[in-house]
Structure 1
């Protein structure tokens, strides 16, 4: 592809509804711009930094986000589906308490893990208060080194003997 080399400096310009097709656009800088409803399709965005951005209601599909970091983000009511998490670390994630921003007013839905394969996952120093685990495979599940499956079997035997 033979490209025309041209450096643009646009300031205080409205380029709404513009189309950019088959471009080399490396090392661009966007500062104080409104990119609402922008579509970026089939783009190499490796090494990109997004800082102080409003990405609410953004949809990312068919993306390679390996090695990416999300820090200091409000990820409330987000959906993560059909994602590979090999070697992923999820750290210092909190559910804010009332009075801590951004805390949703009224009742808020719980964080949910549905149909997830967490085989071999490690949970360390996590607050699991009021966690509800149902319809899950628990073979080999240990809490502080104790097999939960054996605890449940012992509890069932104890309840059966008390009948």
Structure 2
């Protein structure tokens, strides 16, 4: 079995096949672990474009056995000592065949520089808990929805490396005119820190608590925000030309708070393949706006000409 399983970077051409696989996986997990209409939280599992988004991350791997797609694994890494397993799914018909354990071994061989692996998995699947613990992952913490694990690859030479700083307290410290290019921060408390007049190009932030973050007067061109909870975020006075927003939930949040958009410049923008049930447009300039190619102004005019009023709609 070891020689039959291998990893291969996914491409855009694989997106549809992976989407089909994820639909099967989601259906299986729903029937196996969930009840009362609940479903596993797998953002964009049935979206081709979401799979293409993961491909662009550069860490989306197909799990193949004899050239057959049997699963996928998404690895997010800074390129230094820490990496995170963001998605790891095996086709139900190929589970319990030691494929998952072989994939974890291949993954560590693929990234020999990584010393700390982290992941989270649903509380509802004791099979997952046993699997990761069997493969050397240690329980770290938990909440109502998830269990968090880590695996540390021991390196006896790590403590002697000059480019590593361990357990150093820098509270209330000021850094001025410092070159910290290509630095890696893992399990670092940066709460209430401030960054100004700094070059943060190609900054990577993952698995971090950014609640209350305040970004102003910053260039965020070509940035990617994905697989993140941005509930109650306020975005104002921001230029977003060329922005691509896809596979995003803009409906009610857990506190039944709707998305509100006010004074938004959306000229020449388009909304496609979206669920806009109960979507409201109020006091907006809709000149030239079209729905399925039909001018909204023409639709409203036809509506008025039928003599339909608000009382007898």
Contact 2:286 2:296 in 1 (8 A): yes
Aligned match of 2:221 in 32, 52, 66?
A: 66
Following superposition, the deviation at residue 123 of structure 1 comes to 0.7
Following superposition, the deviation at residue 10 of structure 1 comes to 2.4
Q: Does 1:31 align with 2:181?
A: no
Report the RMSD for the aligned CA atoms in angstroms.
1.7
5+ residue gaps, structure 2, are 1-161, 309-313
What is residue 56 of structure 1 aligned with on the other side? 211
> How many aligned positions are there?
147
- The residue matched to 1:156 in structure 2 has which SS? helix
What is residue 142 of structure 1 aligned with on the other side? 290
What is residue 46 of structure 1 aligned with on the other side? 201
- Greater per-residue strand proportion: 2
Aligned match of 1:111 in 246, 259, 279?
A: 259
Give, in whole Å, the separation in 2 of the partners of 1:92 and 1:8. Answer: 39
Q: Which has the higher contact order (CA 8 A, sep 6+)?
A: 2
Query: 1:8-47 CA deviation, whole Å, 9 max, x = no partner?
Result: 6321221111111111121111111111111111110101
Contact 2:287 2:297 in 1 (8 A): yes
What is residue 130 of structure 1 aligned with on the other side? 278
- The residue matched to 2:305 in structure 1 has which SS? helix
What is residue 76 of structure 1 aligned with on the other side? 231
Give, in whole Å, the separation in 2 of the partners of 1:12 and 1:23. Answer: 20
Structure 2 length as normaliser, TM-score?
0.45
Structure 1 length as normaliser, TM-score?
0.84
- The residue matched to 2:307 in structure 1 has which SS? helix
Give, in whole Å, the separation in 1 of the partners of 2:179 and 2:215. Answer: 22
- For residues 96-107 of structure 1, the aligned pairs below 5 Å read 104-105=254-255
What is residue 247 of structure 2 aligned with on the other side? 92
5+ residue gaps, structure 1, are 1-6, 98-102
Give, in whole Å, the separation in 2 of the partners of 1:96 and 1:138. Answer: 22
Aligned match of 1:120 in 246, 256, 268?
A: 268
What is residue 100 of structure 1 aligned with on the other side? none
Give, in whole Å, the separation in 2 of the partners of 1:137 and 1:48. Answer: 37
- Greater per-residue helix proportion: 2
